[in-house]
Structure 1
Amino acid sequence: MSQTWENARPKNMDLTHLSKQSPIIIVGAGAFGLSSALYLALAGYSNVTVFDKQPYDKNAYSTAEGADAASADFNKVMRMSYGDELDYQRFAWDAIQIWSLWNKQISSSLPENLPHGLKPSDKIWYNCGFLRMSTDGSLSPFEESTLRNITREGLRSTQFVIGNKDDEKRAPFYFRKGEWGNKRDPFHRQRQGKSLAGVFDSSAGYVDASKACTWVMHICRQYGVRFVLDEKEGQVCSFTKSPAGNKTVGIRTGSGREHRSEFLILAAGPWTPYLFPAISPLMETTVGSVVYFRLPPKEKAPGLWDRFSPENFPVFAYGGWTKGLGIGGFPRTADGIVKIGYRGVKYTNYEEVQDKVTGTKHRISVPKTKYWPEPSEPAITKQAVQAIKSVVREALPELAELGIAGCRNCWYTDSLDTNFVIDHVPGDEGMMVCSGGSGHGFKFLPVLGKEVVNIIEKPAEKSAIAKLWQWRTKASGPKNGLEEGEAGPRNWKKQEMATEKDWEFDQKAKL
């Protein structure tokens, strides 16, 4: 590892009740679990084990190979735009620096020194920019506050407001020839006589989530982290408690085996409330909807491959970040897949779950995936398909001509206020929760674990951003939908699922 990366290690890492050899268990090998494991290992803790029921070592977090988790994906947005939330903006900027460093480390590696699923020509971070396109001709208050905070940090030069004289004038000197024209109006609104307003963030882009997780697992292994990845041996079924019942001291897996811990980090993403129902007042498992469009072979449609390449096409939010239908998308992958997602409604799936420790039964939202006890078909809601189709018809008619090729439900955890939950469990010195990504957590994979370790070490001396993540209670009034409960309109069982017939476009565009 380079000296720059070594300098990212947390300093003064003597945890008051842990030795460097203390057994530490992390439940979940997604972004939060991997980052926590990495920084514990960097701090010298030599007995860190990560448990997960999915065989990520074999499928390299590839959804095509069966990986089914929020952290297993083609792409995740990497952005600094956070409105008035300056702490997240700064945290994202720090993450970008390490994403860039990791790209360099991968490209300079020998093929035999990289893990299954990665080769030196791969990138995990694509700085293609992020366009937040308004459709009403004006910037939202969110965009205005983002610009103020980015200017405050001396980074205004990375932002280009479409239609701003100064930004338009300097753009040709900042971008490659032709790039600005492609990325400022990828939906060809101007030629249609429509309003053109928005912000292009040149510091942003996307991360190849599956490859990123594969890379970080590789680094973790280099520093001695052990992984138990198996449907039985890696599946955590319950937690074991001390004789007094006030401290978590280990886990029991699907095979029936028990593993002792002196400290446990629960980072199970959308399975967190299922494993630990007591957390359900703070976070809720929800699902976002995704569709895929597959481009024809490159030799048959070179124009489309060029148009949707990361060099010419940005990550986008259509209608802006806080307005519109909640539609966003990405450039094509190396395999010619264009992904568009819908988060206008975050659906829930309520089931009865029994707390394995107390025996108490809860009605909480749980994931509905191939790893849920009752496997389900990958259908998304008709509402999501209709919203995506309406934007594609208007803004990307080339994709309407191709038609939807596939879909996916991506299960997350939403906290009650979209801030993560990363803190010790009250009254249990042997356990902390590290979850509640709320649809924006993956980008922090390179830096999150540093804060996790600092929270473990000095819980009374949290940083500004860590204070946002501390254990809290539900305030009065609506907070991110958690107040709706099972009776709310987002309940999965109340939705109409789309069929492949619903995927079809009534009037196909002409290429």
Structure 2
Amino acid sequence: MVTHDSRIVILGGGAWGLSTALYLSEAGYSDITILERAEAIPSPYSAAYDINKIVRAEYEDDFYSKLALEAIEQWKTPLFGPYYHQTGYVVATTGRAPAKAVTHLNKALASIERDPAFAPGIRRLNTPADFREYTWQYSGPLTGFTGYFNRLAGYAHSSDAMRGLWEHISKRGVKSVLGEEAGKAVQINYAAGNSGRATSVTTADGKTHPADLVISALGAHSAALIPQLGQTSVARCWSVAHVQLTEEECNLLRGIPTTNIRDLGFFFEPDPKTKLFKLCPLGIGYTNPGADGVSLPPGDRLPPPQDFIPRADEDKLRTLLRETFPWMAERPFVDKKLCWFSDTADSDYCIDFVPGSGGSVVALAGDSGHGFKMMPIFGKWVVELLQRGQQSEPRWQWRTPSAGGQQWGDAVSWRVGRGGELTELIEASRSKL
């Protein structure tokens, strides 16, 4: 039984770990410690360690649409509002898009067109002139573009939001232990006998941190400490790249809607501090399985490639720029990287007690590339789990491995393209050197 003075240790200081600490603190839990292997927060080990992330609420599934709408309202509060920008959201496919991308767009559009919360701010876009009403800066041909504009969406400065939330909860008394030695959890320790209860967490410096409750919010790294998660929640990555703009170019693109071309990729207005224009290609993503078949980020398995994304992803982003901002299409990509996240076959989260732990270990995993936007409300669901003593939402319950194994990336409705394994990509990259 977890009480308000129980010793709670949260593994991971990313978006979900910080949100959980916030809601636990607000609910009256007084002894909360975050263990984070990075030297500072925001943590580069977090999937949210980024300039910005899309905040939108259109889903094929109304369950997540309603939750995302709730999250957007919290993004507009004083705590989260400084990091949220409701620029609007352009979603489209090109004339060359596969049927899968078009089908997903139409389903998402249908879901929000009939919802009174969205309907007044939705506009279908069928011609280049329609698109330029919302982004007059588009100077490319927009070949075959069709889609829609959604006023009730935008983006958040993700790293800044994590830093701001961490500073806030620290003032509330949440403790943090940071660093590759002091803050890196290497083992969850359990009581002897049959209780299965966690008693402490050991960090890389050999120190033991007593715990009545351990909450794992390690994202793509989760299976390193909870191996059972590796069968149902896979570490997967997508590419990220940036173009360095001048101040004049940055000002030119100020205020453009977040734009998502379903068969190519997405981009945001430039970051005013760094003047970086971020782009991400859309696809299935890449895994990094070891000999045991469990995928983990390269920091746990092999040296990560530096300043690297696959050639196919670069080509996709060049096409995206030629269609929208051709003056930028041949610019060098800078700060290229692979962003790792925790992925499930159905894109549902895991927010549940680990079986056999006697209610002493909670696993938070499976953000599946759409979890950051829930940061302002996510921790509330963890508190509800503790108060109920079980997960009543079937979508978020602990799951068992499926017969189909872990190759589910291409089955997800909103992912288009080809996937692969990281080792194959690295070898292909080295062979071109």
Task: Name the CA distance, whole Å, in 2 between partners of 1:104 and 1:274.
Answer: 31
Normalised to the residue count of structure 2, the TM-score between the two structures is 0.88
1:37 aligns with 2:7: no
Secondary structure, counterpart of 2:298 in structure 1: coil
**Matched residue, 1:156:** 119
Which residue, out of 354, 357, 378, partners 2:307? 378
TM-score (norm 1): 0.75
Report the CA distance between 1:209 and its aligned residue: 0.5
Select 1:426's aligned residue among 334, 338, 355.
Answer: 355
Distance of 1:218 and 1:458 partners within structure 2 = 29
Cα 1:40–1:269 change in 2 (3 A) is same
Q: 2:84 aligns with which of 104, 109, 125?
A: 125
Question: Given the alignment of the two structures, is residue 253 of structure 1 paired with residue 253 of structure 2, yes or no?
Answer: no
Matches of 1:68 and 1:461 in 2, distance apart?
27
Following TM superposition, by how much is the alpha carbon of 1:492 offset from its aligned partner in structure 2, in angstroms?
1.2
Shift of 1:276: 1.6
2:105 to 140, 143, 146: 143
Cα distance, 1:51–1:103 mapped onto 2, change above 3 Å: closer
- Residue type of the partner of 2:383? V
Cα distance 1:232–1:182, how it changes in 2: closer, same or farther (>3 A)? farther
| Partners of 1:367 and 1:411 within 8 A in 2 | yes
Deviations 1:451-487 (A, max 9, x none): 111012214463xxx4311112244458762699xxx
Mapped partners of 2:427, 2:258: distance in 1 = 27
Aligned mates of 1:144, 1:427 — CA distance in 2: 43
Pair 1:498–1:328, CA change in 2 (3 A): farther
Instruction: Look up the SS of the partner of 1:452 in the other structure.
Output: helix
Match of 2:169 among 215, 220, 223: 220
- Give the Cα separation in 1 of the matches to 2:78 and 2:427: 40
Task: State the structure with more CA Rg.
Answer: 1
Q: Report Cα offsets for 1:167-186 as digits up to 9, x if no partner.
A: x7xxxxxxxxxxx8452565
Residue 347 (structure 1) aligns with: 286
Asked if the contact 1:382/1:497 (under 8 Å) is kept, the reply is no
Q: Give the fraction of aligned pairs with identical amino acids, expressed as a percent.
A: 24
Indicate the residue corresponding to 2:414 in structure 1: none
Q: Residues 478 and 162 (structure 1 numbering): CA distance in 2 closer, same or farther, change over 3 Å?
A: farther
Tell me whether 1:317 sits opposite 2:294 in the alignment.
Answer: no
Change in Cα spacing, 1:388 to 1:259, as seen in structure 2 (3 Å) is same
Alpha-carbon distance change, 451 to 44 in structure 1, aligned in 2, over 3 angstroms: same
User: Displacement of 1:295 after TM fit?
Assistant: 0.6
- Matched residue, 1:495: 425
Alpha-carbon separation, structure 2, partners of 1:489 and 1:208: 28
Pairs within 5 Å for 1:99-498:
99-102=75-78, 123-136=82-95, 140-150=102-112, 151-163=114-126, 181=132, 183=134, 187-188=138-139, 192=141, 194-244=143-193, 246-296=196-246, 298=247, 302=248, 304-309=249-254, 311=255, 313-318=256-261, 320=262, 324-325=263-264, 327-334=265-272, 335-352=274-291, 362-369=292-299, 374=303, 376-428=305-357, 429-460=359-390, 462=392, 466-477=393-404, 481=408, 490-496=420-426
1:72 aligns with 2:72: no
Partner of 2:415 in structure 1?
none
2:65 aligned residue: 89
- Distance across 1 between alignment mates of 2:80 and 2:6: 34
Matching residue of 2:30 = 46
Q: How far is the alpha carbon of 1:373 from its aligned partner?
A: 6.7
TM-fit CA distance, 1:383 = 2.0
Unaligned runs of 5+ in 2: 412-417
SS of match in other structure, 1:490: strand
The 3-state SS of whatever aligns with 1:432 is strand
What is the DSSP-based 3-state SS (H/G/I as helix, E as strand, rest coil) of the residue aligned with 1:447?
Answer: helix
Say if 1:498 and 1:343 are closer, same or farther in 2 by CA, change over 3 A.
farther
**Aligned counterparts of 1:290 and 1:498: Cα–Cα separation in 2:** 18
Contact persistence 2:118–2:152 (CA under 8 A): no
In structure 2, do the counterparts of structure 1 residues 137 and 185 end up closer, same or farther at CA, with 3 Å as the change threshold?
A: farther
2:290 alignment partner, SS class? strand
Question: d(CA) in 2 for partners of 1:403 and 1:374?
Answer: 24
> SS where residue 181 of structure 2 aligns?
coil
Paired with 1:250 and 1:206, the residues of 2 have a C-alpha distance of 38
Cα distance in 2 for partners of 1:492, 1:418 equals: 21
SS of 1:388's partner is: helix
| Equivalent residue, structure 2, for 1:112 | none
What are the Cα deviations for residues 146-187 of structure 1, in whole angstroms up to 9, with x where unaligned? 3443323442112221149xxx7xxxxxxxxxxx84525654
Gaps of 5+ in 1: 1-16, 62-66, 106-122, 169-179, 353-361, 504-511
Deviation digits for residues 43-75 of structure 1 (CA, Å, limit 9, x no counterpart): 000001110100224xx55xxxxx343121100
Q: Which moved more, 1:152-161 or 1:126-135?
A: 152-161
Counterparts in 2 of 1:343 and 1:38: CA distance versus 1, 3 Å:
same
Query: What is the count of residue pairs matched by the alignment?
Result: 418
Partners of 1:36 and 1:384 in 2: CA distance: 34
Contact 2:10 2:216 in 1 (8 A): yes
Q: Confirm or deny: 8 A CA contact 1:385 1:498 kept in the other structure.
A: no
How far 1:197 sits from its partner (Å)?
1.7
